[in-house]
Chains A and B, each alone.
Chain A
Amino acid sequence: MISISNLHKKFGKTIALNGVDFNCVQGTVTALMGPNGSGKSTLMKSVLGLVIPDSGKIIVDDADILHGFDYRNKIGYMPQTANYPQNLKVVELFDILKDLRTSETDDELIREFRIKEIYEKKFGQLSGGLKQRVSAAIAFLFNPKILILDEPTSSLDPLSAEIMKSKIHKSKLEGKLILVSSHLVSEVDEIADRLAFMLDGKIVIDKMLAEIRNGNGDVRLGKSIANLLNKI
């Protein structure tokens, strides 16, 4: 479980997070939406410990994340685009990760994402799509309780995107917490239970999808969101 309270972050004069209160629970897929620069990435990075907030609290499973890095054992993360060192082999990266992580790898997953055949390849030899596939696999590799996925399908090939979506669905059923950012309403519609919409460093909409749909009586999710935004 992730619980964020009153989170503030400024980069110089730019306000990136302006008092974010936000909770995610296990067994749900929360979609994080919002225009560029609204604070989605900063929020995700804050949870990962990459960004150190000016004030506020982030609690992951009852522990303040400022108190250590062990909590990241529970998190699987997939960056929007990952640039790995050219000379690094996929298997070497997996080795490094195995060294850092405490839990066991989910070998089924390597088969699922068809990683085996590129095991011995260097990242320099991989296409963007393949790299992204490795990133996706890494997020799930250690069977984490929490998944933070930054635009997970945006540069995946269609097949891998489908695998990803089904993986997200499966993980939800397994009781995992999934936080996924996306630009695609259709995708959100397909995979998410809940929507958090960010504007100017704040979460302006935080509702279950069902609630959004029902409240507006409109079948199309995009339209419903637009309606909600207009009311702010």
Chain B
Amino acid sequence: MSLKILKYVFFDLMRSRFVLTYIGILAFISFGVSYFSNDEMKTVLTLLNIVLFIIPLVSLIFGSIHFYDSGEFTEFLLTQPVSRSSVFRAEYLGLSLALSLAVVAGLLPAVIIDRLSVGNVYLLGISVILTFVFTGLAYLASSMNIEKVRGIGLSIVIWLFMAVIFDIIVILLIYLFRDYPLEKFIIILTSLNPIDLGRILLLLKTDVSALMGFTGASFKNFFGSSIGMLLSIAALFLWVLIPYLLAIRIFRRKNF
């Protein structure tokens, strides 16, 4: 991989108006939430909801836009003695790292006000992983479509599905098949959605876990155990890896 390209993509994004705005908005929210809440756990939970909403959306849409906007430059780079995967990796990492750093910087006010805690650390970790996951998905959607509009459209569809439709389906399934033992099925189902995985992992690190223990003890037992935890984190990493690998595969065969 070309570190020079990575460095360039990263620093170019870090000084771009969009990323600075992103940091600003996140910082404003996280400062507001933690400043006006006296309970650090509550801050984490409120921020979690915001993070689960914003990060996939921004990573997907901005990821796609950036992919297309840098298309000509990417093409130019590929006329140079450098492999396609190396250029792709540099651009993907540059973007993911820039957005991750933006998220961490944006959440920093909350960490400073509430100090570093388990909840905070998990929130930051999950935010960063989700940024990587959804940047990867954005690149996958964009590599698949030559047309910008279709690529961005696909990204929006992915977001809608992951953030909203998937959960509706899960809850409908749970409701319709409530007379059957569903726990294992649901555990597998939720690990098919990185947003849900992130949400559950963090919830179990907060007070809210008791609510989960109260009605869904088996979930708490699974996700709360170290094995469940490891499996969930492993699933999240697969969610980083698989879209990335698929995207790079498509990118290597792409015609410019």
Contact = CB atoms under 8 A, between A and B. Distances in A.
Contact of B70 (A69, A85, A95): A85
Nearest to B256: A50
Interface stretch (A74-82, A176-184, A199-207, A217-225): A74-82
B12 A85 contact: yes
A69 B83 contact: yes
A85 B73 contact: yes
A176 B13 CA distance: 39
B73 A52 contact: no
B182 interface: no
Interface in A47-83: 48-52, 68-73, 75, 77, 79, 82-83
B73 A83 contact: yes
Interface stretch (B74-82, B111-119, B193-201): B74-82
A84 B75 CA distance: 10
B71 to A, nearest CB: 9
B76 A11 contact: no
Given A100-B2, A100-B81, A84 B76 contact: yes
A50 B78 contact: yes
Contact of A72 (B15, B80, B255): B80
B8 interface: yes
Contacts of A95: 4
- Which among B3, B255, B256 has the highest number of chain A CB atoms within 10 Å? B255
A72 B79 contact: yes
Given A50-B79, A50-B255, A100 B72 contact: no
Interface in A99-113: 99-102
B253 A52 contact: yes
Nearest to B86: A69
A214 B8 CA distance: 53
Nearest to A70: B81
A228 interface: no
B16 interface: yes
Interface in B142-189: none
Contacts of B5: 96, 99
A45 interface: yes
A87 interface: yes
Contacts of A99: 2-5
A87 B19 CA distance: 14
A69 B82 contact: yes
A79 B12 CA distance: 23
Interface string B11-31: 010011000000000000000
B72 A83 contact: yes
Nearest to A50: B256
A193 B84 CA distance: 34
Given A83-B73, A92-B8, A96-B4, 15 more contacts: A45-B256, A48-B78, A48-B79, A49-B78, A49-B79, A50-B79, A51-B256, A72-B80, A77-B79, A79-B79, A85-B73, A96-B2, A96-B8, A100-B2, A100-B77
6 contacts: A51-B255, A51-B256, A77-B79, A83-B73, A85-B73, A101-B81
Q: Which 6 A-B pairs have the closest CB atoms?
A: A99-B4, A72-B81, A50-B256, A73-B81, A83-B72, A77-B79
